């Protein structure tokens, strides 16, 4: 099966409500299925805000990110929320994809039910990033209605695909895990 390139994108946020919580990390892999996944280009940035607002469980879970954001000497990539679509578009162009000629698809564990809600609140995201509005949902690919009441976690999906289970809550690693799940589902070498 020949699969078209897509971007597996993952966000880390300060909670689950896009109206009150914030994106604090964006990671992705541009999956060109004719290449080994390890050779596919990666995107990564932390997102700086003047004030951070969120839910206690997410703030505690993302201490690693806040340590990086608080370090004035960090060499990690950091941008403000308004610059996320600009940075992402520049990376997509460097990957050789012309969004003016062809739109691409996003993938995620639950992209439409979670990440998309946050991206809608990123200024100019939909105007700058030209993508298809249908996505690959790794959670749906591994959902089993005989045993699941909800979408399985990334770790459960990885186990069901026979891949090492290591959901990290690090945006790039989680995006790569989703790309591996999509490849496994469609029999594409990882």
Q: What tens digit of pLDDT does each residue of 73-97 get?
A: 999 999 999 999 999 999 999 999 9
Q: Is the pLDDT of residue 1 over 80?
A: no
Domain limits, the chain: 6-185
* Stretch among 22-31, 146-155, 158-167 having the lowest mean pLDDT: 158-167
Residue 136: C-alpha distances to residues 3, 23, 80, 88, 154 (Å): 12, 21, 27, 19, 14
What gap in Å lies between CA 142 and CA 23, rounded to an integer?
A: 26
- Could you give phi then psi for residue 80, rounded to 5 degrees? -85, 165
Q: What is the pLDDT of residues 123-142, one digit of tens each?
A: 999 999 999 989 999 999 99
Nearest Cα to 84, choosing from 129, 19, 130?
129
Do strands 23-31 and 6-13 pair parallel, antiparallel, or not at all (unpaired)? antiparallel
- Identify the architecture of domain 6-185 in CATH: 2-Layer Sandwich (3.30)
Confidence at residue 110, expressed as pLDDT on a 0 to 100 scale = 83
Please list the residues that pair with 8 across neighbouring strands.
29, 107
Q: What is the pLDDT of residues 42-76, one digit of tens each?
A: 999 999 999 999 999 999 999 999 999 999 999 99
């Amino acid at each position: 099966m020949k699969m078209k390139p897509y971007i597996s994108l993952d966000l880390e946020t300060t909670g689950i409500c896009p109206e009150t919580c914030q994106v604090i990390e964006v990671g992705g892999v541009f999956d060109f299925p004719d290449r080994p996944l390890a050779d596919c280009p990666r995107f990564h940035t932390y997102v700086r805000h003047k004030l951070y607002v969120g839910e206690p469980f997410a703030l505690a879970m993302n201490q690693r990110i806040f340590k990086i954001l608080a370090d004035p000497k960090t060499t990690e990539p950091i941008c403000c929320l308004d610059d996320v679509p600009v940075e992402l578009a520049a990376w997509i162009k460097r990957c050789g994809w012309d969004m003016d000629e062809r739109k691409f698809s996003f993938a995620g564990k639950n992209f439409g039910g979670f990440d998309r809600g946050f991206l809608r609140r990123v200024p100019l995201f939909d105007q700058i990033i030209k993508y298809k509005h249908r996505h690959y949902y790794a959670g749906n690919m591994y959902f089993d209605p005989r045993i699941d009441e909800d979408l399985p976690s990334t770790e459960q999906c990885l186990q069901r695909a026979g891949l090492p289970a290591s959901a990290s809550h690090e945006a790039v690693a989680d995006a790569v895990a989703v790309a591996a799940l999509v490849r496994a589902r469609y029999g594409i070498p990882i």
